[in-house]
Amino acid sequence: MSLSKLKKGDMVKVLAGKDKGKTGKVLTVIPEKNKIVIEKVNLIKKHKRPDQKSKGGIVEKEGAIHISKAGLFCSKCNAAVRIKSKTLDDGKKVRICSKCNDVINVG
């Protein structure tokens, strides 16, 4: 999976690791590290010191995972799929699912 194909807001499926099988929305793409952050995936517990706004405690925050551990999710196929790009008649580039040939919508 090439990084350029995944964008913020995409629905992806986790293919490896402790969150394998989970689907979620891409929150952040970190191109220089080939990593992405997915909503509710790879949650890391962090101890937060009390401050004026909160009393502190343990907070959970998403950690980045390597791009190769996630695949773009096609809701029609209900699976992580390979994607192809296609140029429409008006010159607009879209991504399509290589299985069902449906355009994959960006969230």
CB closer to Zn ion, 12 vs 97: 97
Spell out, one character per residue from 65 to 94, where the chain touches Zn ion: x when CB under 5 A holds, - when not.
Answer: ---------x-xx-----------------
Residue 100 interacting with Zn ion (CB under 5 A): yes
CB closer to Zn ion, 86 vs 99: 99
How many residues belong to the site for Zn ion (CB under 5 A)? Answer: 6
Residue 103 interacting with Zn ion (CB under 5 A): no
Taking the C-alpha atoms of residue 71 and residue 1, their distance in angstroms, rounded to an integer, is 7
Contacts of 32 (CB under 8 A, 6+ apart): none
Q: What are phi and psi of 31, to 5 degrees?
A: -60, -40
Alpha carbon separation from 68 to 15, 42, 60, 61, 101 (Å, rounded):
8, 14, 23, 21, 22
CA angle 63, 85, 93 (to 5 degrees): 100
**Listed ranges 22-30, 49-57, 85-93, 95-103: which one lies at the site for Zn ion (CB under 5 A):** 95-103
Q: Which residues bind Zn ion (CB under 5 A)?
A: 74, 76-77, 97, 99-100
